Amino acid sequence: MRAGTDPNDPRSVLWVRPVPHGAGVPGLRIGWNSITNRYYTVWRSTNLFDGFKLHRSGLRGEWRETLFDDEGATNDGVYFYMIEAEQ
């Protein structure tokens, strides 16, 4: 419920997706379904065996979808993200 999902609806999930943005813009853009009365934390990892590290917190949720630009994700490596709905 913290993420604004309905525990009685199996289709109600917190999803994260890559979002394309303009050519020449550094980094990656991700988006997730969100609600406006929540704040979110982004955790990032480049190696799942090393776990996730706090990347950004206190991101205010937008209506329907929040977008986040990770300007530090500039190499050809793999990036994993985890989104946490704050209390």
Per-residue pLDDT of the chain (87 residues), as tens digits, is 566 777 888 887 777 877 877 777 788 899 998 888 899 999 999 999 999 999 999 999 998 899 999 988 888 789 999 999 987
Distance from C-alpha of 37 to C-alpha of 21, rounded to nearest angstrom: 26
Sequence length of the chain is 87
Question: How many angstroms separate the first and last alpha carbons of the chain?
Answer: 10
Distance from C-alpha of 49 to C-alpha of 70, rounded to nearest angstrom: 21
Contacts of 56 (CB under 8 A, 6+ apart): 41, 42, 68
At 15, which amino acid appears? W
- What domains, with CATH codes, occur in the chain? 16-85 (2.60.40)
Provide the sign of the torsion angle of the four alpha carbons 31, 34, 40, 46, taken in this order.
negative
- Tens digit of each residue's pLDDT (9 = 90 or more) over 49-67: 999 999 999 999 998 899 9
